């Protein structure tokens, strides 16, 4: 991925929040699934979730993702620790919630999605780029000219 003014960076992992980001009410739209299949050929995909609804396994079935269930009281810290464990400089993170703010800031590139359930102000402020749909955020990763146009100085 080329970041204007910083050169080419190697992205190895994409970390995704589940509900409110890639899923709505526990369901992932087919176009999002198709795009995740494309991205899965380029980077390792990780889905982080507390799985409050208990539907992440069903929703991500047949997707090239690694699901990481969060169990602690402080999911914000669990998410940022996970990004650090992958090597923050090689991670793109996508989220929308207050508990995503730290991982969005820590990742080499933090993308915030303002979906139907909105986005926390802190997540917006911690992000490098903001989108109104997860599909647009995922396509941004796939399309090099979009990085240059949005991130140039």
With respect to residue 45, please indicate whether it lies within any of the assigned structural domains: yes
Query: Token pair for residue 81?
Result: 């620790």
Q: State whether residue 75 is helix, strand or coil.
A: helix
User: Which CATH number belongs to the domain containing residue 144 in this structure?
Assistant: 3.40.50.1000
Q: Which secondary structure element, helix H or strand E, spans residue 49, and what is its range?
A: strand 44-49
Q: Any residues with CB less than 8 A from the CB of 39 and at least 6 apart, and which? A: 14, 45, 138, 141, 142
pLDDT at 72: 78
pLDDT at 101: 98
With respect to residue 38, please indicate whether it lies within any of the assigned structural domains: yes
Q: State whether residue 116 is helix, strand or coil.
A: coil
Which residues constitute the domain of residue 20?
A: 2-148
List phi, psi (to 5°) of 20: 90, -15
With respect to residue 153, please indicate whether it lies within any of the assigned structural domains: no
With respect to residue 134, please indicate whether it lies within any of the assigned structural domains: yes
With respect to residue 87, please indicate whether it lies within any of the assigned structural domains: yes
pLDDT tens by residue, the chain, 153 residues: 877 777 788 999 999 999 999 999 999 999 999 999 999 999 999 999 999 889 999 999 999 999 999 987 899 999 999 999 999 999 999 999 999 999 999 999 999 999 988 999 999 999 999 999 999 999 999 987 787 778 776
How many whole angstroms separate alpha carbon 106 and alpha carbon 90? 11
Q: Report how many domains make up the chain.
A: 1
With respect to residue 118, please indicate whether it lies within any of the assigned structural domains: yes
Query: Token pair for residue 67?
Result: 């699901």
């Amino acid at each position: 991925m080329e970041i204007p003014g910083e050169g080419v960076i190697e992205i190895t992992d994409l970390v995704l929040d589940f509900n409110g980001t890639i899923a709505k009410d526990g369901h992932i739209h087919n176009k999002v699934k198709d795009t995740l299949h494309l991205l899965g050929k380029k980077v390792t995909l990780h889905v982080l979730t507390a799985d409050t609804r208990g539907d992440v396994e069903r929703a991500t079935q047949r997707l090239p993702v690694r699901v990481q269930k969060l169990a602690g009281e402080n999911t914000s810290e669990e998410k940022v620790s996970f990004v650090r464990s992958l090597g923050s400089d090689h991670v793109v993170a996508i989220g929308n919630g207050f508990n995503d703010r730290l991982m969005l800031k820590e990742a080499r590139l933090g993308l915030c999605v303002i979906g139907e359930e909105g986005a926390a102000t802190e997540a917006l402020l911690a992000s490098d780029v903001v989108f109104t749909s997860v599909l647009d955020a995922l396509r941004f990763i796939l399309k090099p000219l979009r990085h240059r146009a949005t991130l140039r100085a």
